[in-house]
Amino acid sequence: MCGIVGYIGNKKAGPILINGLLRLEYRGYDSAGISTIEKDKISIMKDKGRVKNLYNLPGINDLEGTIGIAHTRWATHGKPSKENAHPHMDNSKTFSVVHNGIIENYHELREFLSSNGYKFYSDTDTEIIPNLVHYYYSKDENNDEFKFLRAFKNACSRLLGSFAIEILCKDYPNNMIVVRKDSPLVIGKSDGENYLSSDIPAILSFTRNFYLLNDYEYAVLSRDNVKFYDKDLNEINKKTETIEWNASSAEKDGYQDFMLKEIYEQPTAIRETIGSKLNEKLECSFEELDFTKDYLKGLNKIYFIACGTAMHAGLAGKNMMEKLCKIPTEVDIASEFRYRNPLVDDKTLCIFISQSGETADTIAALKLAKSNGAKTIVITNVIGSSITREADYSIYTHAGPEIAVASTKAYTSQVVLISLLCVYFADVLGMDNPNVTNLKEEILMLPKKLEETLKDTKKIKDFAKKVYQEQDIFFLGRGIDETTAREASLKLKEISYIHSESYAAGELKHGAIALIENGVTVVGIMTDPNLVDKMVSNLQEVITRGAKTLIITNQDIDEKRFDVVINVPKTSPFISPILAIVPLQLFAYYISKEKGLDVDKPRNLAKSVTVE
Ligand code: F6R
C-alpha cells in the first residue's frame, strides 16, 4: 500500500530517494518522508501530502548523506499527518525505519514497550519497530559487526502481520538492513551503489539487475555488497535476476498521464502477451504447464480468483472455459473465497489473477486453495512478485509496468492470456470445436483490431465533456457484455468519483429501473449477436424513461434510436471485452480530466493492496 525506497552509494541520497518516491507515488500519496545519516546522526524530513512537498522542506537541499531510506504513505493506522508520516525514529534517535504493511500485534507490542519506558509520538503501528529494535540493541553487550542485524532480527521475529521494512542505525553508517514478509521489496544492484524499492519501475533507470527476497530473509546492504541471511541469521547466497523492461516503459513518454499512455500501449502489450503462446499455424503452447488430458478431464471445477479489475478478467474467462472445455468454472472474489470454506480439493484447479502479484487477499486465497490440495496457477504481470513464489505455476502477461492506479492494459492482457489458456486446455482435451479455431484466429488479429479501436476517439471525448458533471451513470450489458459493464463502471468510479452501477440488462426491470429518470446517462454494451435484440429492448425501457444513451457495439443496429453509438471491430464474442472496454476506459479518463482530477492517483486508492 505504501512505497519504500532506499539508497546506499557515493552520491547524495536525498535527490535519489525523492525521485524514487515520485515514481512510487501510485502506491500511496498522503504523506512522505526521507531519512539519511548525516555526520553520524539520523536525519528525518517528512510532511503530509504529496511527495513533491518534500522539496519545500527547509534544509532538504543541504543533506549530504549518501545512505538513506524513504517512504510514501497510504494511511492504515493513524490519519495522514506529519507525525504519522514515515520514517519513524526510536526514542534514543539511534534508528530510523520505513515500513510497508500492517503490524497486527502492535497494541500488545506498544504496551510492552510502554511498560519498559518507551514513549510514542504517532498513531502508527510502525513506530513500535525502531523502539523494539532499540530494546534488543540496548540489551546486547556484544559490540560486534552483527549487533545491529541481531537486534533487528530479534525485533522482527516478534512482529505479526505483513511487512517490508528498511532500517538505518547511526552506529552503522555504512549499512542499511531490510526484511520482508508478504509485502513487496526488491534490491537493485549497481556498481558501487545499491538500491531498494517496493517495485521495480521506480529504480529501473539505475539498474536492471535485481535481487528478490523471500519471506523472513534479511539483506544487509553496503556500498559494494549485499549480504543475505535467513530467519536464523545463517548467511545465504542469492543471484541477481535481470529484468527485461526498459526504463522508458516506466516514463510518460509525452503522454499527459500514465493512464492514457497505458490505454494506448494496449496493442503492444497484448502482442507481448500472445508472444510465443500462439503461432500463425494456430498452435498454442504453454511451456510453464505440464497438464495432461487425464488431469484436465478429471477436474471437478476451475476457479478464477482475484480482486477488482483482475476479478473481471476472470469473469470474462468463465464462459469461455465452460463453452470450450466443458469444465464447470466459477469466479470468486479473493476476500470472499478465503472465508467461505470453498469446495476445493485435488480435483479443483484454481487460477489466480493479479497484476501486481502482491494483493494480500489473493495471496491468502491461493495459500488456502493449495492447502486443500488444489493445483494453483497465477496469472500476473510482475516477475518474481510474492504470489509467484507461492503458486504451483506462474504465467506472465508481459504487459510491461502499469503505473496508473486504474488498471487498463493489465486487464486486457489478462483477458488475452485467459483466452489463450482456454484454447490451450481445449487442445489438450482434444476438443473438436470450430469455436476454438475461430477464437485462435481472432486472438491473433486482436492487436490490429485494438489499434483500430484507438484510432478515432473524438466521439467518446465529446460525450465525456457532455456528461462529466452527472451524479450517476449506469452501465448495462448481457452475457459477456455484462462483464464489460462491470469493468467500465469500476473504472468510472475510481477516477471520476461519479456514482455508477452496472447491471445485467435483463435484471434492471426487477428493481434498479426505479433509479432511471429524465436525463440520466445509460451506457449499453452490445457485442453478442444472440443478445442484441434483447439488449435493444432493455435500452428502449430506459429511453422511454428519459435516459441519454451511449452504445458500444460491433453489431448492425439502428443507430438513430440512441444518442451516441461507438462502433468497435467485430471479433469472437468470447473476447469482445478486450475491444469493447477501450472506449469506456477513455470515457472514464476524459471525464476525470474534464473534472480536473488526478487521473493516475485517484483519492483513497493505491496500486497494490497489500493489506487484507
Ligand atoms: C482497478 C484496479 C484494482 C485491481 C485490484 C487487484 O483499476 O486496478 O481493482 O485490479 O486491486 O489488483 P492486482 O491485480 O494487483 O491483484
Cα 285 to middle of ligand 1, angstroms: 27
Cα 605 to middle of ligand 1, angstroms: 10
> What's the burial of 435, exposed, middle or buried (CB within 10 Å: 0-12/13-18/19+)?
middle
Structure pTM?
Answer: 0.78
Residue type, 119: K
Q: Which residue is closest in CA terms to ligand 1's atom 10?
A: 309
Q: Which residue is closest in CA terms to ligand 1's atom 11?
A: 308
Q: Render pLDDT for 84-108 as a digit per residue (tens, 0 to 9).
A: 999 999 999 999 999 998 898 999 9
- Say whether pLDDT at 460 is over 90: yes
User: 8 near 30, Cβ under 8 Å?
Assistant: no
Mutational test site, ligand 1, from 353, 603, 609, max ligand atoms within 8 Å of CB: 609
CA distance 320 to 317: 5
- Give the model's pLDDT for residue 247: 64
Q: Render pLDDT for 141-168 as a digit per residue (tens, 0 to 9).
A: 999 999 999 999 999 999 998 899 999 9
Cα 351 to middle of ligand 1, angstroms: 16
In which residue are the cell numbers 519497530 written?
Answer: 129
- Give the model's pLDDT for residue 382: 85
Angle (CA) 100-221-15 rounded to 5° is: 70
Q: List strands edge to edge, sheet with 499-504.
A: 499-504, 472-477, 521-526, 548-553, 564-567
Cα 307 to middle of ligand 1, angstroms: 6
CA distance 10 to 229: 25
Handedness of CA 407, 413, 419, 421 (dihedral sign): negative
CA distance 395 to 18: 33
Which ligand 1 atom lies nearest to the CA of residue 406? Answer: 7
Which residues are catalytic, by number?
A: 2, 607
Mutational test site, ligand 1, from 258, 263, 359, 605, max ligand atoms within 8 Å of CB: 359
- Say whether pLDDT at 252 is over 80: no
In which residue are the cell numbers 541469521 written?
Answer: 233
Domains of the chain: 3-243 (3.60.20.10), 252-453 (3.40.50.10490), 458-594 (3.40.50.10490)
Residue 81 in grid coordinates:
499527518
Q: Render pLDDT for 119-141 as a digit per residue (tens, 0 to 9).
A: 999 999 999 999 999 999 999 99
Cα 537 to middle of ligand 1, angstroms: 33
| 249 vs 307, more confident | 307
pLDDT tier, 343 (very low <50, low <70, confident <90, very high otherwise): very high
Which ligand 1 atom lies nearest to the CA of residue 609? Answer: 11
Which ligand 1 atom lies nearest to the CA of residue 362? Answer: 16
Cα 187 to middle of ligand 1, angstroms: 24
User: What mean pLDDT comes out for the span 328-350?
Assistant: 95
Mutational test site, ligand 1, from 1, 27, 355, max ligand atoms within 8 Å of CB: 355
Which ligand 1 atom lies nearest to the CA of residue 405? Answer: 8
Cα 309 to middle of ligand 1, angstroms: 5
Helix (H, G, I), strand (E, B) or coil at 201: helix
Mutational test site, ligand 1, from 26, 74, 259, 307, max ligand atoms within 8 Å of CB: 307
CA distance 339 to 206: 42
pLDDT tier, 249 (very low <50, low <70, confident <90, very high otherwise): low
Cα 227 to middle of ligand 1, angstroms: 34
**β-strands 472-477, 186-189: how paired?**
unpaired
Ligand 1 contacts (CB < 6 A) are 307-310, 354-356, 359, 362, 406-407, 490, 494, 608-609
Dihedral over alpha carbons 128, 132, 135, 139 (to 10 degrees): 180
Which ligand 1 atom lies nearest to the CA of residue 411? Answer: 10
- Say whether pLDDT at 244 is over 80: no
User: What mean pLDDT comes out for the span 581-599?
Assistant: 97
- Say whether pLDDT at 276 is over 80: no
The DSSP code sequence of 57-95 is STTGGG---SEEEEEEE--SSS-SSTTTSSPEE-TTS-E
CA distance 579 to 583: 8
Q: Which residue is closest in CA terms to ligand 1's atom 6?
A: 307
- Give the model's pLDDT for residue 1: 63
Residue 584 in grid coordinates:
469506456
Residue 278: which of 286, 289, 267, 290 has the closest Cα? 286
CA distance 523 to 183: 38
Which ligand 1 atom lies nearest to the CA of residue 359? Answer: 16
Q: Residue 145 contacts by C-beta under 8 Å, 6 or more apart in sequence?
A: none
Q: Which residue is closest in CA terms to ligand 1's atom 16?
A: 354
pLDDT tier, 79 (very low <50, low <70, confident <90, very high otherwise): confident
CA distance 371 to 580: 38
User: What mean pLDDT comes out for the span 386-410?
Assistant: 92
Residue 374: which of 396, 342, 417 has the closest Cα? 342
Which ligand 1 atom lies nearest to the CA of residue 491? Answer: 7
Cis peptide before 87 (omega within 30 of 0): yes
Q: Which residue is closest in CA terms to ligand 1's atom 13?
A: 354
Q: Which residue is closest in CA terms to ligand 1's atom 9?
A: 308
CA distance 487 to 34: 37
In which residue are the cell numbers 538492513 written?
Answer: 177
Helix (H, G, I), strand (E, B) or coil at 302: strand
Helix (H, G, I), strand (E, B) or coil at 199: coil
- State the average pLDDT for the chain: 93
C-alpha distances in Å from residue 34, one per residue of 71, 94, 178, 294, 473: 6, 15, 16, 56, 42
- Give the model's pLDDT for residue 238: 94
- Say whether pLDDT at 71 is over 80: yes
